[in-house]
Amino acid sequence: MKPTIRVSIGGLAFNLEEDAFRVLDDYLKALRRHFEKNSESGEIISDIELRLSELLQMRVSSADGVVSMADALDIIKIMGSPKDFDDAPQEEYTEEDSEKKSFGKSDYATDDTQDLFKKKLYRDTDNKFIGGVCSGLGHYFRIDTTIMRLIFSGIFLFLLFFMHKGPSCMVIVLIYGILWAVMPAAHSFKQKLSMTGSDPSISNIEEDRTQSARKYKGSSLASAIGILVNVFIGILAVILFLIIIAMIASFIWLYFDTTILGLNNYLILLGLSSINLKIAFLLASLIPLMGLLSLMIKILKRSPFTTQTLISFVIGFVLWLGASFYLGNTGFKFGLNHRHTAEAVESVDANTTSDSLYVKLGSEYLSAESQPNNPFVLYTGSSDNKKLCVLPSIQTSVDTTLTNYVIEIHKKNFADNEMTAKRKVEDLHLDYTLTDSLLTINPTWHTNSNPWSLETFEIVIKTPRDKKVIKEYPLNRSYKDFNININRYGYNRCFYNITID
């Protein structure tokens, strides 16, 4: 076994064979001599050492691996040497006996070397969490691996929470499994170079550093303004990111909430609880914010606006436009179908000798729960078979001219034109039964497939002076009573509320 030397390159420690160490040491010395007259020499050499350490990491599979002479010569072949663009004499080495061999392009640069810089899709097994798929995709699309993992996780959670019919979230698992199967793992040095697709040559490093220096060369005032702008954009980007996270968390919370707002219940009641509407609302809300955040990140990173960037923004704009059009069309159709209203009154013959008239709901409604902050709406059932009903308004009044109860049902319905609205209100009937002194009401249950069309019922019960109306739970907590006293001098109206302790 050849003796080894442990050295630090680019801030990382490596074990090198003695001859490999001498080759790389002379290589770096030659580079320092070549760039010593360059004003950016220190930064260029630092960049070269960082790139050299990256190549050594890819070349050596394990942390305690040894860099051989062949490894050193292969890396020099890829990065190039000063002789590629300078005629200064360089020392030569061979792999077998450490004889001198030129670093020149004629000895190492071949057309095959350029193939290493052609980006290919591989799984990154060195930076894997499960199979290295997200890391490989991140290298290929130049997206941070963490962001790629968050994208996969976010889609999985979205399908898990919103696509509740069937195991839709398993689609992401299936896609990940297929990618794992078809994407080869980057095991060899050449495969890892092709996976990153970056050109580690010295000429490329020098060109990047020169362009960077030229780009930011200017007055101190311009630099200060640039720093302030970057800080401002960075703060806005952080705030925007927090807003996006808060909105996603709010959407998830609203989907499951049944005790504070119960928004999903209203969507079911109106027949609007569809996965298409939810996805459209999500896209219309988040795409502009995510596009703006992406733009801010590009400005902060000074990333170039490539054709791929333009395509991404165009796709996002098309998705946002489609989602906004879908939401607008749904809202317009709903408003168009309910723009005309019609009313009608239905009288109920109440022949009872009792001094009290009891009003209650049918037994099937007693186990239902009230919609949060809205006692007019009851719901029952789970998310898959939930149904809701709207309670009728019940008003009582005292009329001294009457000798028995008078019950009227005021009906209101909506349609897209007056004739249809009148026909619908005439066909509209409240399900009730009146047995002696008991009025039992059975409101219609509504589901997502049988939505509420905004029809309303108002039951007006007029009583003589010596008779009363008793409303049972939950009808006794929902509505306002008013008292009318009629005499020869006119009438007075008094409003009061019933409070249930």
pLDDT digits (tens, 9 = 90+) for 386-411: 899 999 989 999 988 888 899 999 99
Residues 129-155: what's their mean pLDDT? 83
Task: Tell me the H-state helices in 143-274.
Answer: 145-162, 170-182, 189-196, 202-216, 220-256, 263-269
pLDDT band (50, 70, 90) for residue 425: very high
Q: What is the pLDDT of residue 487?
A: 39
In this model, does residue 124 exceed pLDDT 60? yes
Q: Which two tokens stand for residue 85?
A: 């663009």
Q: How far apart are CA 114 and CA 119, in angstroms?
A: 11
**Greater pLDDT, 46 or 242:** 242
Q: What is the pLDDT of residue 167?
A: 60
Cα 220 to chain centroid distance, Å, stands at 41
Neighbours of 435 (CB within 10 A): 9
Q: What is the pLDDT of residue 202?
A: 61
How large a percentage of the chain has pLDDT more than 90?
23
Q: What is the pLDDT of residue 451?
A: 92
Span of 78-82, 233-237, 262-266 with lowest mean pLDDT: 78-82
58 touches 173 (CB < 8 A): no
pLDDT digits (tens, 9 = 90+) for 463-478: 998 889 999 888 876 5
Q: Nearest-CA neighbor of 31 among 80, 102, 70, 73?
A: 80
Residue with tokens 């495969």: 191
Span of 107-116, 283-292, 422-431 with lowest mean pLDDT: 107-116
Q: Which two tokens stand for residue 74?
A: 């292969």
Q: How far apart are CA 304 and CA 293, in angstroms?
A: 16
63 touches 76 (CB < 8 A): no
Half-sphere exposure of 451 (CA within 13 A, CB side): 14
Residue with tokens 């705030």: 239
DSSP 8-state assignment for residue 446? B
In this model, does residue 223 exceed pLDDT 70? no
Q: What is the pLDDT of residue 346?
A: 92
In this model, does residue 29 exceed pLDDT 50? yes
pLDDT band (50, 70, 90) for residue 419: very high
Residues 220-231: what's their mean pLDDT? 67
360 touches 440 (CB < 8 A): yes
Question: Is the pTM for the entire model greater than 0.85?
Answer: no
Residues 307-316: what's their mean pLDDT? 84
Q: What is the pLDDT of residue 284?
A: 92
For the chain, give the mean pLDDT.
78
pLDDT digits (tens, 9 = 90+) for 243-258: 999 898 888 888 887 7
DSSP 8-state assignment for residue 404? S
**Greater pLDDT, 298 or 331:** 331
pLDDT digits (tens, 9 = 90+) for 89-99: 444 444 444 44
How large a percentage of the chain has pLDDT more than 70?
78
